[in-house]
Structures are given as C-alpha cells and as structure tokens.
Structure 1
C-alpha cells in the first residue's frame, strides 16, 4: 500500500465506518415490538413510504457493479455498453403492469417471496421450489459481483489481497443480521447522495480538463476506428443492433423478477407508493447514462486499467480515472460512493435469498410447523451463509469468471417469468406445463451460453450472452440475447405442455387467490396483518 493514497484511504474508511454505524443503529429506527418475524426483519414492516422506497429500490437496482462495469463496457466496446440505459427506462412501465398486482396479492395473503405467490396461484409446491431455487442461484453471483466494485477501488488505492473485503462483508453481515431490511434502507440515503454528488461533479469537471465533450467523443472514435472488432464503436452497426435491443428488453424483463427487486417493492406501504416511485425512478436512468459516459472519458484521459498477473482488470477503469482526475480528498469520496454502493444491494440480495430458502424450502419441506420467530432466525442465519458464499466466489473463482456468471444469472431468472410475471394476469397455464417450460428454458439457455466463445479472453464457453443467429440456420451475422431465446423455448413448451396436460385430464392445482386480490390497496378490508407462519 502506497502512502500516495493515504488521504483517499482515510476518507474511504471514515465514510465506510459511518454507514456501518448507521447499519447497526437501523435496528432502532422505526423499531416494532419484535423483529422476530419475516414481516419485520425481511420486509421492514411493509411500511416504507415514498422517499424510503425511492432510495431503497434505487439503491437496490443501481449497484457498485453498475458503477464500474457499465463504463468499463463502454470503454472496451463503445455504444453497446449503453444498452443499460434503455433497459432501465423500459423496466418501470413493466412494474406498473406487474408488481403493483404482486404487491396487492402479497399483502392480502401475507406473501414474502415470489415463490409464495406461485405456490398459492398454481397450487404447486414443486413449481414454487423451482422458482425459489432459481431465485437463489441467480442472486448468489449478483452478490459476489458487488465485491468486484469494492476490489476495483481498493486496487486503485494500492490495497491488494482479500482481507479488507472479508472484513467489510463481516461488518455487513453483522448489521444485516441485527437490523434486517431497515439497515440497507437507511444506508441507501447516504449511498445515493454520494453517487449523485460524484457523478454530477464528474460530468462537469472531467470533460473540462480533457478539452470538452467534443474532444472526449473524438478520442473514443479514434480508438474504436483502430480496433479489429467491427461491432465496437461510438455507434452501433448492423451486426449488434438486434442484440442491443433484445439485451435491453431481456434485461428489463429480468430485473424485477430478481428476488431482491421484489423485496424492495413488497416493503412499500401502498400501491400508490409504488406508482409514485416508478414515476421518479427514471432519474436514476439519467444518472446511469452519465455513468456510462465515464467510459469515453477514460479513453480520452488515456486511462490504463490496473494489471495483475499479466491481465488488465477493466473494472478498474473508473477508479483509475477518478484517481487521475480528482484531488485526493474527492477521490476518497468517489471511492466511498462505489464501496457503499456495494453494501446496499448486497444486504437486500442476501435477505431476499434467505427469505426464499426459509419460506419455500425450510418451511415447505423441512419444518412446516415453524413459528414466526423460527422463520426469522433461519433467515438471519441463511443471510450470513449467503454472504459467506459470495465471498467464497471471489476467493475461489477467477473474478472474470464470476462476472460472466451474472450473464448466466439474467438468463436463469428470466425462466420464472411465465409463472411469476404472466401468473399475475392469467391462470391459463397448467402447473405441469409451467414446470416443463421452466426445465426446457433452463436447458436451452445454458446450452446456448455454453456454445458462446470469447477469443479475446481465451474462453471457449460461457464467453458472453450474444448468440449468433447463423447457429439457427439463418444467413445473417446478427446476434440476439440468449435470455429471450431461452424464454421463447420456455413459453412454447409451457403452452404445449398445458394443452397436453389438459387433454390428458391431469389434475391441476387450486388457485388460492381471487381477482379482487390483485387490485387491493392499503385501507381495503382485504389488506390486513396476517400470521405469516400460516401462509401457504
């Protein structure tokens, strides 16, 4: 560790300590009589208003990995990296269609997870188990990827080794165990203020030092004109436009299927709270566009990613840019924004994964008579195990491989859309057809991902998520997002399976919900406190 970064380290550590204290204090914030149930520990009492929900959901969706990976992709590939902007714009109207209905039916029946809803809607513990396992598997690498953001800023400060990350996640585990969802909800205020501050300063200050935006884009164009990949550039070309569009759409469909996204929504006080937030959250999309532009700024600034073991770590592009451009004290603030930006989503993700295990595996198959307190205790313990697993992913796997797992996570979670997303609107699908579709979609998605190489990284398999349409017999160089192809297989098999099951007169599960459940709001007679331990 170099003394050249002493100021940055002190400021980074001070702000990290501040939010850690806030995490422990959160257990006393709006404290109920007891935290010994998932309604309170896992969902914050289902009572968060507009401001808290706005910061919580925004802090949940815009992670440390977003802060470093999106501009890193723009730095390496150009315009293709901006796919994240349209997908975050598309996603909010989808929430109006889907998650306000999930909020209503969940509050009527006391559901804590999307698998709870599937269990009641289709009367199938097996389908609910598939949804729960899918959610846990898709979330685990997402938690691990938050460590990538922290590692990137630590490397930029000259700190190497895994001990600082282990300490950071140990502290995170401790205050999450004690405070539950209230901890990330409170910390999200600090995280978002820091990120907005850093990005606004960056887009005003850095271009002025580089000669203006014209010079920034000219430098980016000059770089991509010299790269061998024709699809890299400041504009899309004919080979990647379709993949850009399908990746944006597929990512939007996947985003609110993730368990941690659902957790933030279910913690809201009312349907109106969700609607107001979906109207305001596009402000984050504007900030995301500015974050992406950091990739072009890094090109103009001549940033060289930090290398380790002979390999350049492109995730360090933004931290190195900040280190080169900002004074030391503000660089420390910027690094803290990225580091704290990892804590909020990691906490929510671990809580969401723990709730899935507790409600849909432990209570369903291991201890059906578990009390509220026993459920809460199991979730607390599992949330610790999930964080340990995330740290293990970084310690035991090549970080580049763990990043590739996030691509797989999006393809995987999309396979729950027929049962969770479409299930909110129709009961037409047979539970047997949905299970068959889920299995077919998983198999097709993983097979296509396995077939995709990445010669630049020396990978023969799992090298990306853009599948060549020529592999399907089409005479074109265009590619398409694997997730949508796998989802198409899923839907086709689910529909065909439903017709077969109906023709064979196979028994279908009973629907425990009613039409009125999907439009119930706070104050309606149906929306009441329920004994969560008795929920289906």
Structure 2
C-alpha cells in the first residue's frame, strides 16, 4: 500500500466531494426542482465556466489513461485522437450554434427533444434517447476504469468482487453529490480538475525526458520495443509508424470520433447549459488548447515503453490492466507526494465527466421515455426527481460494465459507444440543416446501421490469438464485410472502424427509402420548429443579422 500517495489522493478526493455537495448553493436558483436547473445549470454558464465544463466533459479518463495505454500497446495508432480533436471544433461549430438556438427557443433539454419537435415522431425520439443512454454506459465505464487503475496502483487491488470495492465507494460518493447538486457539481469541480491536470502534465513532459535521455531516445527505444515479435503471435505488437493495413482504420477512427463526440448527450448538455451563441463560439476557438494537452499525454505511452513499465495485474480478473501504465509511470519516476497529486488529477478527471454523462443520460430518460410514454402529465418537480433517480441507475449500469466487460484496451469502450451513437447523426445533425429525409426512412436507417454495427462489434474477439470472446474492439478487416452472406472484399486485410461502415449503411437506407415513402404518401409529420428558431440568441447578445449567402449570423 502506497500510503503517501493514497493520503494525497484521498485529501483531494474529499475536497472535490465537499465542493460537489456545496455546488448546489453556487449560483443558486429559486428551486432545483426543474430540469433546466438540475440538469442544465439554469442555462446561464458564461465563457469561462463553459470552457472548464465542456473541457472537463470531453477530456476525460479517455485522455489521461486510455490514449497513453493505446500508444503503449500499439504505437502510432494511439495518436488518432490528435487529428480527431483538430478537425472536431471547426466541424461542429455551426451545427452546435443551431442546436443551441432551437433548444433555447423551444426549451429542449436533450437531442431527442429536438428530434421529437423536428419530425413529430415519438418513436424516432425514443430511439435517439435509448441510443444516447446505451452509448453513454461504456463511456462512463471508461471513466470508472481510469479511477480503478489509480486505486489499483496505490495498492487497492483485491481479487473477485472485493477488488472492485474501492470503485463502488467512489461511485457512491459521485452518485450522492450528483443527485444533490446536478450539473453545478461537475461545473465547479472542473476548475480543480483542469488546474491539477495542467500542472501534472506540464511537469511530466518537461521533467521525464531529462531523466531518460530526451524525447529522441524515448521514441527510438519505443520503436525497438514495439517491433519485437509477440511470443504468442510471432508478430510485432505495434509500430511508431502506421502500416499498410491500419491507415484506413486510423483515418476512419479520427473522422468517426469527431462526428460522434457532440452526438453524445453529455457533450450537448455542456453546450445547452451555456448562456448564448457567443459563449459557444469562444469555446470552439479556445477548446483546442486541450488538444495540445492530449498530444503531450499520448507521449507518456512512449515514455512508459522506454523505461520498461509493466501493467499491474488486475486482482479481480488475473489479467494485466493496461490502464495502469500512466499511474505506474508516475509511481516510478516521481516522489510519492507528486504521484499522489497525479493520481488525484486522473481520478477527478474521471469523476467530472462521469457526473455529466450520468446527468445527460438521466435527462434523456426523464424527458423522452418517462414523460413521453409513462407519465405525460409530469410536473417539472416530478421530472427533476425522476432524473435524479435515473442518474443513480445509469452509474450503477456503468459499474456493471466494468465488472462484466474487459476489452483489450479501455479506449474501446468509448469507440464501441461511438459506433452506437453515430447512428443518430442523420436524425439529429443532418436535421439541423434539412428535413428532406423521411422520418420512417430515418427509423429504418437507424435499425440497419445499429443492427449491423452491434453484430460486427459482437464478432470482434476479445482474444485475437484464440479468437475467443466478444466485443474485443471496434475495428474490422474489410475481408469480414458481408451483405447477406456476400463478401465483396474477401482477401483485403485493411482495417476499418466499424462505426464508419455502419453509418454509411444507415445513410444509404435513409436516402433510398425517402423518395419511396414520399411517393407512397406516408405522413411526414409536422415540423414544430421554424427557420428563425435556428438563429435565436441569448439574453444580452443583441440583435444578429444573417450573413449574405449563408444561414449563419453575426452580432449586429
């Protein structure tokens, strides 16, 4: 047991827990018994708060644990997260402005609320809501995996269910302060989390090379380690350069991840909580600063390779836990007090997004399942109560994901979730610009894309050597692509992200069926939004004028 590290970690964990409970008094509303207050913080967060909230929401244990672990295990493939975050913000800026405006105009809390209003389809909105909830589960599980890796490195590494006991305790604390304070809790804690992360990573990136020969030596040593043949397969585990079979996988992973990120309900929750379009614009300009942090974090995977870090064996499963790579690196290279500080940064960096994700999933359940189908006459107070209870259930489901699913790399939890949530892109993102696609065509496209994507994910073995297990990753060789038994590329070993293929099938079905349904006279429903709704501004933003030749606006 590393008592000094554990003491520093515990002190900071208790600090943010107290902040989480106290957050209900921060910018206190007349009543927290309303989804706009509990689930969206009153929709009045300014530029700084939104920057920390959205940054804390998007740069998670995925960034601090999973990406360096993938670089450690596979090399260059782990850097797909960099081009993904580079293209992300220009790609989503204009759609997010439109989503914020139409949500402000109609009081929408979730993307499924918007789909319900746009297509007048309870079924399509429910599918979007269920998809968002299911996709969020493995993403929350990834956060908890990062937290558990830190606890394991400090010595809390028991066997069986007892090995997960510290995680259960952290889950209870997270659940309680989220239930009490809603979105204000992670928004306040995000300030501490970002401060800790920047301090720890900047020190690590500049200090570590001085101890192990500089970055040139680190990269050379990593290349040598990755090129060694695996004793089981006879093949190298990875490379610092992409190979002929994974370049397409790299590109589709980056693009698919960029397209999916703001389809996740928690990402939109941070945007809808902001006070206006100007806040969103400023944040889309400032958030790429986190991409610089991500690149530095990824390099820690090479540093761990260079000094011969070995992952800690998970006492609960008996398998090496690749998530422990960065924590073990800090344990070996830094004083105990600084390692404890780093562990707290990682742990808090997992708790902030886990809280936001559970709140977003709870909002979906409450507005688009509970109120839509179970209790249409629910009052705002009943909605808030239901959302609080649902947030507890979501966290419990994420803990079960940790116990029951053990992919080769924890980053696959997020990538699997991405395959799922990408299937809502036609109904949510495309609909922000056109309503040409028929609502029943969107339902059919969702069904095809989701069914095919989940089946392919199921077929990916957890153990690539023996071919045993399921849901072992998110990439497939093109030779495995099959349409009703027909394999058009039987000998092509090039890998591709499953989500990209599933989305293409989804769009193809929706585009082909739309003219057929229109000619058949199938009802398209009533669009409850208007063009002006997509340009609505926040309080104090002033009038805006439409730019010639576009549907975008500038402050007048």
TM value normalised by structure 1: 0.95
Displacement after TM superposition at 1:476 (Å):
3.2
Q: Does residue 368 in structure 1 map to residue 376 in structure 2?
A: yes
SS at match of 1:461: coil
Answer yes or no: is the 8 Å Cα contact 2:226–2:237 preserved in 1.
Answer: no
Shift of 1:450: 2.8
Aligned-pair CA distance for 1:502: 0.5
2:68–2:299 contact (8 Å) kept in structure 1: yes
8 A contact 1:38–1:355 mirrored in 2? yes
Counterpart mapping for 1:258-277 below 5 A: 258-277=264-283
Q: Which runs of 5+ in 2 are unaligned?
A: 158-162, 482-487, 545-556
1:80-99 correspondence to structure 2 within 5 Å:
80-99=77-96
Cα deviation, residue 72, structure 1: 0.6
Residue 298 of structure 1 pairs with residue 304 of structure 2: yes
Deviations along 1:489-521, one digit per CA (max 9) or x if unpaired, are 000101112111111111111000011111111
> In the alignment, which residue of structure 2 is the partner of 1:531?
none
2:166 to 164, 167, 183: 164
**Displacement after TM superposition at 1:353 (Å):** 0.4
Find the aligned partners of 2:196 and 2:249 in 1 and give their Cα distance.
33
More displaced stretch, 113-122 vs 91-100: 91-100
Question: What is the total number of aligned residue pairs between the two structures?
Answer: 524
**What's the CA shift for 1:284?**
0.4
| Residues 50-79 of structure 1, C-alpha deviations (whole Å, 9 max, x = no match) | 000000000001112321110010001000
Q: Cα distance, 1:83 vs. partner?
A: 0.4
Look up the match of 2:257.
251
Greater shift, 219-228 or 236-245, is seen at: 219-228
Paired with 1:92 and 1:405, the residues of 2 have a C-alpha distance of 23
Say whether the 8 Å CA contact 1:141–1:402 is kept in structure 2.
no
C-alpha distance in 1, partners of 2:503/2:228? Answer: 37
Kept after mapping to 2: 8 A contact 1:114/1:420: yes
1:222 maps to what in 2? Answer: 224
Does the CA-based 8 Å contact 2:228-2:236 persist in structure 1?
no
Assess, with a 3 A threshold, how the Cα gap between structure 1 residues 84 and 229 changes in structure 2: closer, same or farther: farther
Secondary structure in 1 matching 2:429:
helix
Q: Greater CA deviation, 499-508 or 252-261?
A: 499-508
Superposition RMSD in Å: 1.8
What does residue 353 of structure 2 align with?
Answer: 345
Q: Which runs of 5+ in 1 are unaligned?
A: 528-536
Per the alignment, residue 59 of structure 1 pairs with 56
The two structures have a TM-score, normalised by structure 2, of 0.91
> What is the rounded CA distance, in whole Å, between the counterparts of 1:456 and 1:203 in structure 2?
35
The verdict on how the C-alpha distance between 1:267 and 1:204 changes in structure 2, with shifts beyond 3 A counting, is same
Instruction: Tell me how far apart the structure 2 counterparts of residues 440 and 207 of structure 1 sit (CA, whole Å).
Output: 49
1:512 and 2:531 correspond: no
Residue of structure 1 equivalent to 2:464:
455
Name the structure 2 match of 1:208. Answer: 210
SS state of the match for residue 513, structure 2? helix
Partner of 2:320: 312
Kept after mapping to 1: 8 A contact 2:34/2:384: yes
Match of 1:501 among 502, 517, 527: 517
Q: 1:379 to 1:386 in 2, by over 3 A?
A: same
CA distance in structure 1 between the partners assigned to 2:367 and 2:91 by the alignment = 26
CA drift of 1:140 comes to 1.1
| Mapping 1:394-409, distance limit 5 Å | 394-398=402-406, 404-409=412-417
Offset, 1:344: 0.4
Question: How far apart, CA to CA, are the structure 2 residues paired with 1:412 and 1:253?
Answer: 12
Structure-1 separation of matches of 2:15 and 2:95? 37
1:30 aligns with 2:31: no
CA contact (8 A) 2:66 2:411 kept: no
> Which residue of the other structure, out of 401, 415, 419, is the alignment partner of 2:423?
415
Indicate the larger mover: 242-251 or 444-453. 444-453
Change (3 A) 1:297 1:457: farther
